[in-house]
Amino acid sequence: MSDDVINPQDVDLSRRKFLIAATTATGAVGAVFAAVPFVASWKPSERARAMGAPTEIDLSKLEPGQMVVSSWRRQPIYVVHRTPEMVAALTKNDSQLKDPQSKDSDQPEYAKNEARSVKPEFLVIYAACTHLGCLPKQHFNPGDPVVGADWPGGFFCPCHGSKFDLAGRVFSGSPASTNLRVPPHSFQQQLLVIGVDESAAAVAARVEPASLSSNDPRGVA
C-alpha cells in the first residue's frame, strides 16, 4: 500500500473521471484531517492498478466518521468508517428508499443486508453514481444545509441530485434507480482487501506459505 494521498478537492466530479494525481502535501492533508471528516486516497501501485490486483487499505488510521477514497480496477472506491450512530440510523431510512433491501441492486451476497457490508462499521462502495457515473459527495451530517433540513446523512450527487444514505442506498425521487454498487471485499484484521472475497482470501491464506516465491507475482502486487 502506498502512502500517497490526494486532496479531496482534486477528485474530479465529471463523469467517469477520477484523478489519481498523487501529492506530497501531507501538511495540508493533516489540516483537513483535523477540521472535517477526512477524504483522502491511498492508491495501489502502478503495477497493481494495471493488473487489476486487489487493493489493500490499512484501516487502523481511519477514524469513525471518516472516509477514504481509493480505487480498484481504475474505478474509484469509497470506504467509510461508520460510527455506531450512523449504523443505527440506517434503519430509519427504509420507507424513503427505492430499494431498501437491495433486491434490485448490485452487491456481493454477503453485502445484501441493511448496512450493505461485511462489518457494519465499514462501508465499501463504488463511488460512481448509478445514474450516469458522477461521483456523489459526502454529506454525512444530518440536516446538512446543502441537501436539506430533513437530510439523515449520506451522499449527494451534484450532477442531477441523486441522494444515497450511509449504506449507499438510493432515496426515492432520485434519478438514479439503484443503490451504489458494492465491490468484492474482505478483511484481514485491520487490512481491507478490495477485490478479494472472504472465501478467496481464506484459500489464499492456506496456499500462500507453500507456493509463494520471490518470482510469484502475488508477492509484489
- How far apart, in whole angstroms, are the C-alpha atoms of residue 85 and residue 89? 6
Residue of the chain from 62, 118, 129, 196 that contacts ligand FES (CB under 6 A): 129
Q: Does 134 bind ligand FES (CB under 6 A)?
A: yes
What residue type is 92 in one-letter code?
K
Could you tell me how far CA 114 lies from the centroid of its own chain? 16
Contact 89, 153 (CB under 8 A): yes
Minimal distance, residue 119 CB to ligand FES, in Å: 27
What residue type is 22 in one-letter code?
A
Q: Give the three cell numbers for residue 142.
A: 444530518
Residues 138-167 that bind ligand FES (CB under 6 A): 157, 159-162
Residue of the chain from 116, 131, 139, 181 that contacts ligand FES (CB under 6 A): 131
Q: Does 206 bind ligand FES (CB under 6 A)?
A: no
SS3 at position 111: helix
DSSP class of residue 170 equals B
Interior CA angle at 101 toward 105 and 175, to 5°? 50
Minimal distance, residue 76 CB to ligand FES, in Å: 13
Q: Does 132 bind ligand FES (CB under 6 A)?
A: yes
Residue of the chain from 176, 180, 192, 194 that contacts ligand FES (CB under 6 A): 176
Minimal distance, residue 164 CB to ligand FES, in Å: 9
Stated length of the chain: 221
Minimal distance, residue 65 CB to ligand FES, in Å: 24
**Which positions lie near ligand FES, rule CB under 6 A?**
129, 131-134, 157, 159-162, 175-176
